[in-house]
Amino acid sequence: MKIETKQEILEVLRMPFEEYRHTVMAEAARIHREENGNILTATAMLGYDNICKNQCLYCGMRAGNSAVKRYRLDQEEVIRWIGVAQAKGFGRLFLVSGEDPKYGFDHLLAIVHAAKHAGMHVSLACGEFSLEQYRELKNAGADEYVMKFEMSDREDFDRLNPSTSFEKRIKNIGYIKQCGLKLASGNIVGYPGHNDSKAADDILLMKELEISWAPVIPYMPALNTPLAKEGGPGSIETNLKEISILRIMMHSLDITAQQPGRNLAQGLASTEGNLEALKAGANMLFADMLPDAMAKNFSVVDNRSGMGMAHLEEMAKLSGMELKLRAN
Ligand code: SF4
């Protein structure tokens, strides 16, 4: 099966769901099974700081949301949690934070250095930096940086991300690639104003950027956010179709399986949502290292709850995939 052009992507996005399930979804699962060893990649997640200066209109952690209980873990504490992840056998670490100007960059470098010293594959999502800073992160041992473009439509981006601009975001993506870091990037599916044509453009941009990981997610209206008043949620079906299209277009790509199901009250830890995403060709799940009470406050979406190893093991069992904790 070949999916390359915008027209071919649109055909899948507009296909009846049952037809998609029996054709495109099955093909994506086959590719992952036969070419990637049917591995479910487990990554330790450390949301070490939920303070953010930005005002993205869709995000529960935006600066304007006073309902969020904020926290910032210091360097020593983060390194201690990295030790916990290592002791549990994880070889992959995802360090994620809001865009917090008060988090000392030297501290972040020391954290990355410690994680690399512990032999981990290190991915980060800590916001926009300068070219020089990305270079320093790479030199400290970072492997991959997550810089989502969120929406390839320039006007939509500038409206929904008032603290930055589409131009600046694409420039940052260029910096990340220039430094030799792997680039993780993706979109939000079905935000108010999104449509199939824009989704197809998003997918083509991911391909063009030669991403290593697609952290895609359907739009989920978050409490106390301006965009929640405009509609949503995004379609779970379109999100699943996008996952399968990405697997078929980029066979060895990492794709987030931490997806909501039809009951949004279960947040991203939905057994149904995660399992469907794995069947659609996704391969990556996260285990929260922080205590549940803290993980809940890393609230880019509502109903966030800490996902532990038991959930990942259950997902591996239900999907028939092999759970892998080591990086290679
Ligand atoms: S999406 Fe990221 S940068 Fe935007 S408000 Fe949320 S945490 Fe901050």
| Alpha-carbon gap, residue 169 to 147, rounded angstroms | 8
Ligand 1 atom closest to Cα of 60? 6
Band (pLDDT 50/70/90 cuts) for residue 297 is confident
Question: If you measure from the C-alpha of residue 12 to the centroid of ligand 1, how many angstroms do you get, rounded to a whole number?
Answer: 31
Mean per-residue pLDDT, 109-122: 98
Band (pLDDT 50/70/90 cuts) for residue 262 is confident
Residue 56 CB–ligand 1 contact under 6 Å: yes
Q: State residue 304's pLDDT score.
A: 66
Give the Å distances, CA to CA, from 41 to 50, 90, 140, 248, 281: 25, 10, 24, 18, 12
Q: State residue 256's pLDDT score.
A: 98
Residue 118 CB–ligand 1 contact under 6 Å: no
Q: State residue 306's pLDDT score.
A: 65
Q: State residue 292's pLDDT score.
A: 79
Top mutation candidate among 51, 54, 71, 126 for ligand 1, by most atoms within 8 Å of CB: 54
Nearest CA to ligand 1 atom 4: 56
Q: What single-letter DSSP state applies at residue 256? A: B
Q: What percent of the chain has pLDDT over 70?
A: 98
pLDDT at 112 over 90: yes
Residue 280 CB–ligand 1 contact under 6 Å: no
Q: How many C-beta neighbours within 10 Å does residue 36 have? A: 17
Question: Cα angle at 143 between 138 and 147, to 5 degrees?
Answer: 90
Residue 217 CB–ligand 1 contact under 6 Å: no
248 closest CA partner among 41, 35, 7 = 35
**Long-range contacts formed by 226-231: CB under 8 A, 24+ apart:** 226/57, 227/57, 227/58, 227/160, 227/191, 227/192, 228/58, 230/192, 230/193, 231/192
The region of weakest confidence among 65-79, 109-123, 212-226, 296-310 is 296-310
Q: State residue 305's pLDDT score.
A: 65
In the chain, which ranges are continuous DSSP H helix? Answer: 6-13, 17-20, 26-35, 75-87, 105-117, 131-140, 154-160, 166-178, 196-208, 236-249, 271-279, 292-296, 309-319
Q: How many C-beta neighbours within 10 Å does residue 303 have? A: 19
Ligand 1 atom closest to Cα of 53? 8
Q: Are 214 and 178 in contact (CB under 8 A)?
A: no
The 10s digit of each residue's pLDDT in 118-136 is: 999 999 999 999 999 999 9
Strand partners, 188: 217
Q: What percent of the chain has pLDDT over 90?
A: 90
pLDDT at 301 over 70: yes
Band (pLDDT 50/70/90 cuts) for residue 266 is confident
Per the prediction, the chain carries an average pLDDT of 95
Question: If you measure from the C-alpha of residue 186 to the centroid of ligand 1, how many angstroms do you get, rounded to a whole number?
Answer: 14
| Alpha-carbon gap, residue 296 to 277, rounded angstroms | 22
Q: In this structure, what token pair is assigned to residue 65?
A: 């949301």
Higher pLDDT, 67 or 304: 67
Band (pLDDT 50/70/90 cuts) for residue 288 is very high
The 10s digit of each residue's pLDDT in 148-206 is: 999 999 999 999 999 999 999 999 999 999 999 999 999 999 999 999 999 999 999 99
